[in-house]
A and B are shown apart, each in its own frame.
Chain A
């Protein structure tokens, strides 16, 4: 019986290896900021440049919000746009966004033609706020708690399945329902 131990260890290591190689999305990074407050930033709304948008905007204490990072050059962002409209209108979750390394005029035109699901859209044309958030692949969506802490980061477009299975339950939980 004792002779089997090395084989058990080997089997366990192989199982871990198999899981990491075939069942892990290795390209996806967990956010280093989960559990921390949204890093300080100052951006101006793309549509109304006099309106300021900072991390304090997301810490209103009243509702859980989403922070979506997108750009007009990002095709996956265009693909998830209708889902964001649905989240804003049907599920009534406030979505703030950051227009990352983008052309402001193109962004405004896009929001006018495709619809605007966002409460505010900060103009991050230099990409500094994106770097402070650890953005590496748009679209990215952060779930922000009422106090302004980053609870979760979703990389890639949001579809109905990821919304139903991961994001919406988490938001409902944070809002106080169970």
Chain B
């Protein structure tokens, strides 16, 4: 029993490592930080968010985000800062602008369109 407790505790340590490097004075800022770093893609190791990635750029961007949160910048401004330099691709949820409208709405429109086609076919069939 004690053996497993030790194992679980040891495994849990790295999960707190990231927040230890950027101590925040209040929990709201900490929460914003944790949330933001999961929304930002690591453009070097493109399968990961910067929360997960250990690439130098990911580390630098986490530092920047922590700095700007402590500096009182709102989330929207921090996201703009990143998008200005790296493009919308850096956010996992690209912001809804003219350029990304197609990205956001095409799937639901396509489903709606297909369903209406199917409905038309079914109505035709039941009427003959």
Contact = CB atoms under 8 A, between A and B. Distances in A.
Task: State the main secondary structure of chain A at its contact with B.
Answer: loop
B78 interface: no
Nearest to B43: A136
A149 to B, nearest CB: 15
B103 interface: no
A131 B60 contact: yes
Contact of B86 (A26, A27, A101, A134): A134
Kindly state the interface size class of chain B when it binds its partner. 10 to 19
A31 B84 CA distance: 10
Given A32-B83, A33-B85, A131 B43 contact: no
Interface string B36-58: 00000001101000000000110
Interface in A24-45: 26-27, 29-33
B61 interface: yes
A111 B43 CA distance: 29
A101 B56 CA distance: 10
A131 B61 CA distance: 8
Nearest to B114: A6
Contacts of A32: 83-87
Nearest to A126: B60
Interface of A: 6, 26-27, 29-33, 101, 127, 131-137
The 8 lowest CB-CB distance pairs between A and B, nearest first, are: A32-B87, A134-B85, A136-B43, A134-B86, A127-B60, A136-B44, A32-B86, A136-B57
